[in-house]
Amino acid sequence: MKYEYETHTDSPRTEVFDWFERKGSFRRLMPPWEVAEEVRADETLEDGAQRIFRFPMGPLKMTWVAEHLGYQPPEKFEDVMKKGPFRSWHHVHRFIEKDGGTVVHDEVDYKLPMGVLGRIFGSRNVRNRLDRMFRARENRLVRDLERHSDFKHLNRKRILLAGASGLIGKQLAAFLDTGGHEIWRLVRRTPTPGQNEIEWAPSKGTIDGASIEGFDIVIHLGGAGIGDRRWTKSRMTLIEKSRTESTGLLARTLASLNQKPEVFLVASAIGWYGNRGDEILDEQSEAGTGFLPETCMAWETSADAARQAGIRTIHARTGVVLDASGGALEKMLLPAKMGAGGPIGFGRQWFSWISMDDQIYALHHLVMSPNTEGAYNITSPEPLQQKNFAKALGRVLRRPAFMPTPPLAIWFLYGKMGVALTTESQRVMPTRLTETGYRFQHQNAESALRDALGKWKN
């Protein structure tokens, strides 16, 4: 069987081929609804190089081993499946110059397992999956190239990233890598030989200052998950300390360096504003009261040493990030697919969200723009009430979304954490981000959900 797909970009062929040659391209090209784990990847597309990853197939995990061949930069490269779910798979990537841009022509020759039965019962399903996969790849490639082009007049940066293994960190590291930047990761374990990793231990207050000398940009996204477990007293202490101790240690160390970074970006959250009903909130609004606002205030304050040392310091107050492979949206999907994804309570609470692509592009925009500093809300300019978000998700999944979930049920299942994260109302506007000239990929929740789930209308 043969499958073909064409992606048209405005970028020169060499730039497009270079994007594919970067290690981060694998994660950026993986459909956003697929939970794939990269096991090993060689640093090149040259003949004989391999990429090994695992992905779920029903209740099992399938391993895919791909080997590259036909390496002819910047014209083409190929890969063949050495191990995986197909009987055979041969993918040719061609890069064709056209009208000042580049056409990426994908041609896949494949055979399904189980012979005739596989062709009868699996061919349509496989073709539908390929259509969705290659459309998602097209979206990411075209968008990433456009966002990188916004700052291609600047020198490539040496970037240190803490929290690179998290949901946002994985995508941010991959995106920055495809832009040609040099990415290093702060890790809380022994660094893997041959990888750009630096060890630190925030809970012990230890980091080697000399090892982080000379970075242009430092980004800190780390911290214990807010919505991962019930909020016991010990968990709440861990949530705050994992943020304030690590940020404080990093800020003080950066402030003491001879070669300080240009910018220090620290994650924060719209939890800073607390439960505010219908009030329209922007970066000038006062902080709220309660556990989350107090945690966010302490979190942002812990970066003061870097700010006082003259380092441009940014606090990214992030809303609910829509990503099907993790976070809040992943938790919503099962009940929503079963027709039980209706409003929580009356559903009048405001839901301030951001697509994963906008999350990544906004952080990139802020660190690369020389005049940005202080707090920025990383949310869509079109927040909506939770009942309307539930309806949008229902439309995308083609499922009813009218059955309400009482807050008492949330309390029973998730405790105080669940109630705070699902019933508190925050109508947050990204005023300062918009003023910087940032252009949103997704303003409308339904379009963001369709992208995240591969459920486009046409």
Query: What is the total count of domains within the chain?
Result: 2
Summarize the confidence of residues 46-75 as an average pLDDT. 90
The CA distance from 202 to 188, in Å, is 8
Please check whether residues 59 and 201 belong to one and the same domain. no
* Mean pLDDT lowest among 34-48, 89-103, 283-297, 423-437: 34-48
Which CATH number goes with the domain that contains 289?
A: 3.40.50.720
pLDDT in tens, 174-187: 999 999 999 999 99
Q: Where are the beta strands (DSSP E) in 21-174?
A: 37-41, 50-57, 60-72, 76-83, 88-98, 101-111, 158-162
Please check whether residues 74 and 222 belong to one and the same domain. no
List all residues 6 or more positions away from 251 whose beta carbon is below 8 Å from its beta carbon: 264, 302, 303, 304, 305, 306, 307, 313
Alpha carbon separation from 319 to 13, 152, 270, 341, 442 (Å, rounded): 36, 28, 6, 20, 14
Please check whether residues 165 and 282 belong to one and the same domain. yes
Cis peptide before 261 (omega within 30 of 0): no
Domain range for 134 is 2-149
**What pLDDT does 42 receive?**
87
pLDDT in tens, 135-151: 999 999 999 999 999 99
Position 232 pLDDT exceeds 70: yes
Residue whose token pair is 């798979």? 89
Q: Give the residue from 16, 36, 42, 321 showing the smallest Cα distance to 140.
A: 16
Q: Considering 93, 118, 149, which residue would you say is the last residue of a domain?
A: 149
Please check whether residues 79 and 183 belong to one and the same domain. no
| pLDDT class of 217 with cuts at 50, 70, 90 | very high
318: which DSSP letter?
E
Please check whether residues 185 and 99 belong to one and the same domain. no
What percent of the chain clears pLDDT 90, i.e. is strictly above it? 75
Both tokens of 90, joined, read 């041969």
Both tokens of 398, joined, read 């083609």
**CB–CB of 139/451 below 8 Å?**
yes
Please check whether residues 232 and 372 belong to one and the same domain. yes
Q: Which helix (H) or strand (E) holds 143?
A: helix 115-149
**CB–CB of 389/242 below 8 Å?**
no
- 458 occurs within a structural domain: no
Burial 285-317, CB ≥16 within 10 A → b, else e: beebeebbbbbbeebbebbebbbebebbbbbbb
The CA distance from 78 to 280, in Å, is 52
Q: Considering 149, 180, 215, which residue would you say is the last residue of a domain?
A: 149
Please check whether residues 360 and 220 belong to one and the same domain. yes
Please check whether residues 188 and 134 belong to one and the same domain. no
**CB–CB of 220/266 below 8 Å?**
yes
The CA distance from 11 to 26, in Å, is 19
Please check whether residues 431 and 327 belong to one and the same domain. yes
Please check whether residues 354 and 219 belong to one and the same domain. yes
Beta bridge partners of 317: 268, 377
The CA distance from 433 to 305, in Å, is 24
- 303 occurs within a structural domain: yes
pLDDT in tens, 78-123: 999 999 989 999 999 999 999 999 999 999 999 998 664 555 555 7
Average pLDDT, the chain: 92
The CA distance from 361 to 198, in Å, is 25
Please check whether residues 102 and 179 belong to one and the same domain. no
The CA distance from 265 to 34, in Å, is 28
Please check whether residues 139 and 166 belong to one and the same domain. no
Q: Considering 125, 149, 173, which residue would you say is the last residue of a domain?
A: 149
| Residue ranges in 187-338 assigned as alpha helix (H) | 233-255, 291-301, 304-308, 327-337
